[in-house]
Chain A
Amino acid sequence: MKAGKHIKTLNSNLS
């Protein structure tokens, strides 16, 4: 998970 102040990205390749 990558988290910033406004946005958290839950995943990392749509293969």
Chain B
Amino acid sequence: MIHKYKLNGYNICLDVHSGAVHVLDDAAYDILDYCDENMTENPPEAMFSALSGKYDRDELTETYEALYELYEMGQLFSPDDYEKFADMMTKAPVKSMCINISHDCNLRCEYCFAAKGDFGQGRCLMSIETAKKAIDFIIANSGTRHNLEVDFFGGEPLMNFKVVQQTVEYARSIEKQHHKNFRFTLTTNGLLLDDEKMEYLNREMANVVLSLDGRKEVNDKLRVTPGGKGCYDIIVPKYQKLISQRSKDKDYYIRGTFTKYNLDFTNDILEMRKLGFDQLSIEPVVSDPKLDYSIKYEDLPVVFEEYERLANTIIESRRKGDYYNFFHFMIDLNQGPCAIKRLRGCGCGNEYVAVTPQGDIYPCHQFVGNEDYKMGNLNDGTFNTDMKMQFARANVYSKDNCKNCWAKFYCSGGCNANNFQYEGDIKKSHKTSCELEKKRLECAIMIKAALAESGDSSACDGEDCIVEVCH
């Protein structure tokens, strides 16, 4: 299977099952319409008949030979023989956990999927006893996995900062005896950041996700206090201070949400950049389609155009020497995750779970509060392994819309929570999310093509872009 498309003046072809990416001239791009999984050494006559008015016969023959060479090398129309790996990891241990350390929040963001902080379960904070049980649970259920990950989430985690500190201290005190290595992350709205918390987060958290929607008028329209006031002026100086003191070997993301109200979200990315941040993310809102600010299928042409504008803005900036990273355009064409990981996706409900202040266990943070998907409880020791297996088997080959999709090794079957929220079935892909992901991938690959053309070695993921004539 191949996927070919034109974008920003580039003719691009992705060979799905090898991962090879080719940039083609017009003749090669057109010839591909007359090729399939059964290419032969001799060019098809239909190709000459259809394209002889556009290209001369010698050029068509020469170009076809170059394509056939790729076919012979397994880099064009390569076969799909991955399904046998799809169930390889169904017995994977739990290695990653979202600890909802707080089901309370000091903001009332209109679009919050956590029902403005409490996930519809009443406002409360996790006790250190429950947090310790969460750490014990992941150690006990992680098998031989060495690297374990815990994300402090909510609600607003800094409303329960003392328990965050105690949880980290507890995990660090027992990790070596269990041959584990914990990696902690935390997501915050920034309101409660002070010097003590900044120093702590910069020391203990491998990644911090800092919520900001971009421009002040955009951020303050939906990210408001219980009294209805915006938070931009409070949080931006705190984020700037935190990042200025953060070691370069630790990650951070300024993470925003875009809605129907700011479909010109490139301007929000540029605002983040102007504020001095360089690790940036902005994502489409997940919400009831009936709400005014929701992004609907009919909005996609506008969103696509905006992703293209953002891609071109990034290329232009890079060529001027200004580097910033956009999370959803990150793609490693040379390696990235192994095919096994790509087949099974984020690990939700299988390798990854979320726990609530009450000790309830859910497949991920977006399922919290849905009683049908409660997997167990830390206090009574229950854990539904049948449900774990249900999620383990939700891979790209068990999802009808995914198995023959060109993007399957990049989106990995999409988000189970989005599928459930919009389609009522974790295996039924949400069409709008799919189209958005495919557009982001097309843009990400095009950026690589554009940067390779201008000799930017990062386009080849650190390899020198040595030009070697081979076709």
Contact = CB atoms under 8 A, between A and B. Distances in A.
Nearest to B82: A14
Contacts of B461: 11
B334 A6 contact: no
A4 B63 CA distance: 10
B448 A10 contact: yes
A15 B338 contact: yes
A9 B63 contact: no
B22 A7 contact: yes
How big is chain A's contact interface, by range? 10 to 19
A4 B339 contact: no
B18 interface: yes
A4 B334 contact: no
B466 A7 contact: no
A6 B466 contact: no
A1 B75 CA distance: 14
Contacts of B463: 12
Interface in B8-48: 17-25, 27-28
B344 to A, nearest CB: 14
Nearest to B31: A6
Nearest to A14: B19
B371 interface: no
A13 B340 CA distance: 13
B471 A11 contact: no
Contacts of A15: 335, 337-340
Nearest to A11: B333
Contact of A3 (B21, B338, B342, B467): B467
A1 B466 contact: yes
A7 B354 CA distance: 47
Contact of B70 (A3, A9, A13, A14): A9
